[in-house]
Amino acid sequence: MIRAVNTIRASVQSLGWSNGLLYLLARGLSAATRGWARLIKYHFVVQPVPEAPLPARPKSSKTRVYQVSPVDDIIRTFPRPASVISRRFADGAVCFVAVNAENLVGFIWLRLDRYDEDEVRCLYLLDPAGTIAWDFDAYVAPEFRMSRAFVQLWEAANEFLRGRGYSWTASRISAFNAMSLAAHKRFGAERLHTAAFVVAGPVQVALLSFRPYVHVSARPGNRPTITMRPVPARAEAN
């Protein structure tokens, strides 16, 4: 009982009452159904690509950041299924990786046109084309999360986007990930809307904070399409 109360208190403290209790509900639903039913909630955010690089800092870090290719050995150490990584590259995604003494520090992925969500059935479109990109799956290994690795990855991604004329990036963040929400906020991210997905086997119900507000599907090809626009921004679904 005490352990349960402490879990609830910790969730509420980090996420707030509504998202904290929803997180506990999501965990309980997944555990009770052994993953057959899931509850997922996203915040959609946009953040500006800085017009100029950050001021140069002393190069005291031993971490090296570079754009990785599908044949680089380092991708074998990514904590992601090989099939997922292969599909991302095949779809045209760009990945920047951070390494320290050839050990994986972290990575961040970008799409320049659209992104097919891999947790639920949902397609994100970016408008206007060539102005806004999609960033996703920013990861830093636990032992490096107190380092500058996250900032260094973003600096590399921003340099890449700035050189191609992009002014914004959009992304979805789990409403249950307080650390990621705080990190994006520090980079100037602004929240657009939210969406909650209840998945039970092949059936998916999307509850959106924008029209059409509710989308129900039971077939792989039936999914909401969400168009992301920069600030003053809107997310629109079809």
Domains in the chain, ordered, with CATH?
Answer: 1-33 (no CATH), 36-237 (3.40.630.30)
CA angle 182, 130, 158 (to 5 degrees): 40
> Which position has the token pair 């090296």?
64
Query: Could you tell me if 172 and 47 are in contact, meaning their C-beta atoms sit under 8 angstroms apart?
Result: no
Cα of first residue to Cα of last residue in the chain, in angstroms, is: 45
29-38, 56-65, 200-209: range with lowest mean pLDDT = 56-65
CB atoms within 10 A of CB 236: 16
pTM of the model: 0.84
Q: Of 132, 76, 116, which Cα lies nearest the Cα of 99?
A: 76
In the predicted structure, residue 199 carries a pLDDT above the cut 50: yes
Q: Which tens digit of pLDDT belongs to each residue from 105-115?
A: 999 999 998 99
Half-sphere exposure of residue 62: CA atoms within 13 angstroms, side-chain side: 6
DSSP, res 75: G
199 - beta bridge partners?
38, 204
